Amino acid sequence: MASILDLSDTPIYTIKSVALQTGIRPVTLRAWERRHDILSPFRSDNRYRLYSERDIALLRWIKNRLDSGLAISNVANELHSMIKDGIWPDMIPAAPIVTPGKVANPPSEYSRQLFEALIRHDEARSGDLLREIHSLFDLPTTFMQIITPVLVEIGEAWFSGKIRITTEHFVSAYLRGKLLSLLQAYPSRRGAPYLMLGCAPTEQHEIGSLMLSVLLRSEGYRVEYLGADVPLEDLTDYASYEHPAMIVLAASMIEAAIELKKMSGFIKKVKPLPVFGFGGAAFRATTALKDHVEGVYLGDTLIEAVDSIHMLLPVNSRSARTV
């Protein structure tokens, strides 16, 4: 049998493509990477994971070991010691490819179709598209490559007068509703790090922090989503009873980002002191604003925010319990 080392290590495959080729779900791939140090995929400029032919072959080998009854921790140890000794596993032939009934379009095509359906106020078509998208793509791809571009396009169409304000309100209300249902579909876990997420005072743009809440719940965190325009004094008073490990607030508008300067005065009254994280479009547009807010800037994108939160508050799924 040929060795896995003979295969190309050029990073070209997205996590979704790897999932389709190996049958291992994206969430599992990310968990193995974090917990068992299995593969360190290359990160593209926009921080997406990219895998090589060799990575895919290694994953097939791992899956084969798991199918034979071994635990993932044992397989990871076995692989690490083999590679340390310069021994690469043999290639496992790929399972026969099941040809799907329909060839999937790239995320950009779904984004375009969803935009078209939404500006026609066509709920039935939008719902069908979202169901299809959910079955084909993982949450980060859906949020970053499909829903966010739809919203950016809506903003541009509204700004240039191509769509009416009513249509923009319809689209954001529709997507907000779908995201809230998705959030509620994930279990809230006791025993997992507890986060409160919402928007800075005066901030009405809540879809970014809602998507971040869904991503964090899907990764096993206990997340309470507080919505738009959260008053800091009341929030920190509530937090002093509930003891979250972290409070995360987002700001898209500069005025809202400036409001976050006041957070340092309020949060110090909360015992034990939670971590305060912040982010959002205002800090991307005016980077100097970050220096005026006392707390942890979580990154420019939702994926960076999830990664930062993992570093600050590692989640141990085994200690987490569904409520």
In the complex, the residues that contact ligand B12 under the rule CB under 6 A are: 144, 148, 151-152, 154-156, 159, 168-169, 172, 176, 202-209, 211-212, 248, 250, 252-253, 279-281, 284-285, 298-299, 301-302, 305
- Give the nearest distance from C-beta 302 to ligand B12 in angstroms: 4
Of the pair 11, 295, the CB lying nearest ligand B12 is at 295
Of the pair 182, 302, the CB lying nearest ligand B12 is at 302
Of the pair 141, 301, the CB lying nearest ligand B12 is at 301
Q: Compute the 3-state secondary structure of the chain and give helix, strand, coil in percent, each to the nearest 5.
A: 55, 10, 35
- Give the nearest distance from C-beta 313 to ligand B12 in angstroms: 14
In the structure encoding, which two tokens stand for residue 221, read together?
């965190």
Q: Map tokens 């993982």 to a residue.
A: 138
- Give the nearest distance from C-beta 242 to ligand B12 in angstroms: 19
- Give the nearest distance from C-beta 226 to ligand B12 in angstroms: 12
DSSP string, 180-221: HHHHHHSPPEETSPEEEEEE-TT----HHHHHHHHHHHHTT-
Residue 182, sorted as left (phi over 0), alpha (psi -120 to 50) or beta, turns out to be alpha
Instruction: Count other Cβ atoms within 10 Å, centred on residue 317.
Output: 12
Of the pair 26, 208, the CB lying nearest ligand B12 is at 208
The count of C-alpha atoms lying within 13 angstroms of the C-alpha of 307, restricted to the half-sphere facing its C-beta, is 13
Give the whole-angstrom CA distance, residue 310 versus residue 304.
10
Tell me if 302 sits within 8 A of 215, measured CB to CB: yes
Give the whole-angstrom CA distance, residue 19 versus residue 70.
21
- Give the nearest distance from C-beta 147 to ligand B12 in angstroms: 7
Of the pair 114, 212, the CB lying nearest ligand B12 is at 212
Q: Map tokens 């791992």 to a residue.
A: 62
- Give the nearest distance from C-beta 125 to ligand B12 in angstroms: 20
Of the pair 15, 91, the CB lying nearest ligand B12 is at 15
